[in-house]
Amino acid sequence: MVIAEATILQFLADFLLPFMRISGMFAAMVGLSAKSIPTPVKALYAVLFTFVIMPVVPKSPVEQIVDVGTFILMIQQLVIGIAIGFLSMMVLNTFVVAGQIVAMQTGLGFASIVDPINGINVPAVGQFYLILATLLFWTFDGHLAMIQMITMSFQAYPIGAGWWAPEQFQAIALWAGWMFTAAVTITLAPIVSLLIVNLSFGVMTKAAPQLNIFSIGFSIAQIMGLIIIWITLANFADHFQEQWERAELMMCQLLRICGV
């Protein structure tokens, strides 16, 4: 059996271009982007998933594999995948920022551990929030939703059918502002509660000047911080769901699958 050269080139194009979009998402999305996962494992996931969805992906409009136009298309698909994974990471970083704010307000910021995803030292409270958010991401089937969206995107936003306008890149940057807005919203209750505690310390200092407030206030603030964190955990899932729904909507708008 003789296979024509054009058939081989078309097969390579139909594999490489979807692979770039998928591998970009896997390299930046929650869970798979962790440094604890070896790079060959991530690449293997992307290769297997690409082979799975190849039958439903429209043919790539490529005539020559080794071509400047094909290279530009590959870069475009990689950027699309990274942007989608970046939005999912912003959801988790919302809770990392919230944990850091709480840690600074309570004095718990002295306790720091290594973040296995980013490889840097972060406050233990921020890492605790990150673990909870990651577990909720898997619980809410966030990974399945992202895989479904990236698969549907090849039908709604085919390869070579156009490119994002500057307004869409600006929308991604502006959406990242929700990370700080949501983080402040999550920490409003702990901040207000700790403000009341600090005001109480001020009243105690006025009432009993001989009391060394700096020696006992720090430990009391830490204990109250732990109690407040425990009380406010009841609303953690609601905050995560709201932020994740915003991210899903943004992903759908970028991939043009809102009406699908």
pLDDT in tens, 167-208: 778 888 888 777 888 888 888 888 887 788 777 777 777 776
pLDDT tens column, 124-134:
777 888 888 88
pLDDT of res. 17 = 85
Question: CA–CA separation, 177 vs 88, rounded Å?
Answer: 14
- Residue pair 137/143 in contact (Cβ under 8 Å)? The answer is yes
Examine residue 75 and state whether it is found in any structural domain, yes or no: yes
Examine residue 260 and state whether it is found in any structural domain, yes or no: no
pLDDT classification of 211: cutoffs 50, 70, 90: low
Examine residue 62 and state whether it is found in any structural domain, yes or no: yes
Examine residue 178 and state whether it is found in any structural domain, yes or no: yes
Count of domains for the chain: 1
Which distant-in-sequence residues (6+ apart) come within 8 Å of 151 by Cβ? Answer: 53, 56
pLDDT tens column, 82-120:
888 888 888 888 888 888 888 777 766 666 666 655 556
Q: What residues make up the domain containing 68?
A: 5-255
Examine residue 104 and state whether it is found in any structural domain, yes or no: yes
What is the pTM (predicted TM-score) of this model?
Answer: 0.80
Examine residue 189 and state whether it is found in any structural domain, yes or no: yes
- Residue pair 128/211 in contact (Cβ under 8 Å)? The answer is no
User: 39-53 and 142-156 are packed helices; what angle lies between their axes, rounded to 10 degrees?
Assistant: 50
Q: Which residues are paired to 121 by β-bridges? A: 114
Question: CA–CA separation, 94 vs 248, rounded Å?
Answer: 15
Examine residue 209 and state whether it is found in any structural domain, yes or no: yes
